[in-house]
Amino acid sequence: MQNQRRTVERIEEIEAIARAAGAQCRTWQWLKNFTALGIGGPLAAIVYPSSITGAAAIVHRLDDAGLRWRALGHGTSILASDALHDYVAISLRLLDERLIFDGVLVRLHAGYSLPALVYAATERGLGGLGSAAGLGGSLGGALRMNLDGNIWSLVEEVVVAEGGRLKACATRGAALTASQRELIEQSLILAATLRLTPGDPEDIEREVRNSQQSRMAAQPFGVASSSRILRSAEPEPAGAVIEQLGLKGQARGGARISDTHADFIINEGMATAEDVFALTDLIRERARRERGLELEYDVDVWRDESAQE
């Protein structure tokens, strides 16, 4: 029979699972300290595996014990509710593995920072990452949030946790098949091997710089904000729709739709998730009513589903 106790009542079990895999475990954390928006309620625990094999073992043991978990990258694309998050977050930030270059191939763990990857590749005269230049977040978050994105054209192999072991999935730069997509959607991504392109170091640096500059012009910097908050299925970008609706600068509590980049919501200091949801509800309702458009979240919304059960 499934264990009906809440995750917060099973902290000792979580600590024991982490300990057995040589991982660090921090209990009762505020998610707002781990999201770029600076928003998110209390979280039962964060586990930091020290190796990808340890991470695979932890996922398996949590699953076996009926303990819910979520992958936490660098929190740039998460909108977390203010309520209790009654699950375990697994962070790959403290993994021991580093970048390994082998000719044009680079293998890295999924917690690795995208900006650090772009920097290291550029230093070695390896290109192909231009579109990722200027983005925050981790490799795992980028792969998970862009299942149809260009980044997958670089991926030779992705490694995920399955049944307590590492499962390698060869993608060879092709679009994901339905079964690969399903596997990746449901798994903790642990590592990947990317095929980069050698080139003239000056050309690569220029491409990276240009991409960084165009991103800096297209998104707010130096403020607490997630990545783009909403997206449109139509060719017209959500930001243009929000701007045409005259919603730039609208505020609820401590959250404001950026005055300069309409598709970003800024935490002005004390914003709650409720403030942000009030703004996204307003935008979505106006887009539906006045433009017949359904805008979807472009960030992952973390609520505690057990609260609704």
Ligand X SMILES: Cc1cc2nc3c(=O)[nH]c(=O)nc-3n(C[C@H](O)[C@H](O)[C@H](O)COP(=O)(O)OP(=O)(O)OC[C@H]3O[C@@H](n4cnc5c(N)ncnc54)[C@H](O)[C@@H]3O)c2cc1C
Q: How far is the CB of 76 from ligand X (least distance, A)?
A: 3
Torsion angles phi and psi, residue 54, rounded to 5: -65, -40
Q: Which residue has the tokens 């231009």?
A: 130
Give whichever of 18 and 142 is closer to ligand X, judged by the CB atom: 142
Handedness of CA 272, 275, 279, 280 (dihedral sign): positive
Amino acid letter for position 109: H
Stretch that binds ligand X, among 41-49, 146-154, 202-210, 247-255 (CB under 6 A): 146-154
Alpha helices for 124-169 (secondary structure H)? 139-145
29 counts as binding ligand X under rule CB under 6 A: no
Q: At what angle do helices 201-218 and 114-123 cross, to 10 degrees?
A: 150
Q: Amino acid letter at 189?
A: I
Q: Which of 128, 123, 137, 138 shows the shortest CA–CA distance to 105?
A: 128
114 Cβ contact list (under 8 Å, min separation 6): 132, 135, 136, 137, 138, 139, 142
40 touches ligand X by CB under 6 A: no
Q: Which stretch binds ligand X (CB under 6 A): 20-28, 147-155, 205-213, 281-289?
A: 147-155
- Which window, 80-88, 145-153, 175-183, 197-205, contacts ligand X (CB under 6 A)? 145-153
Shortest CB 49 distance to ligand X, Å? 11
Question: What is the footprint of ligand X within residues 178-207 (CB under 6 A)?
Answer: 188-189
Q: Would you give the binding string for ligand X spanning residues 92-111, x where CB under 6 A is met? A: x-----------------x-
Q: Determine, following the binding rule CB under 6 A, whether residue 149 of this chain makes contact with ligand X.
A: yes
222/73 Cα distance (integer angstroms): 20
Nearer to ligand X, 128 or 286 (CB): 128
Segment interacting with ligand X (CB under 6 A) among 23-31, 69-77, 99-107, 244-252 = 69-77
Q: Name the residue type at position 145.
A: M
Candidate list 108, 151, 158, 245; residue touching ligand X; CB under 6 A: 151
Q: Minimum Å distance from CB 289 to ligand X?
A: 26
CB of 139 to ligand X, least distance (A): 8
The only residue of 50, 146, 153, 197 in contact with ligand X, by rule CB under 6 A: 146
Burial class (CB in 10 A: 0-12, 13-18, 19+), 99: middle
Helical pair 52-64 and 11-20, crossing angle rounded to 10 deg = 150
- Per CB under 6 A, residues contacting ligand X are 70-78, 92, 110, 114, 131-132, 135, 137-138, 140-142, 144-146, 149-151, 188-189, 227-228, 300
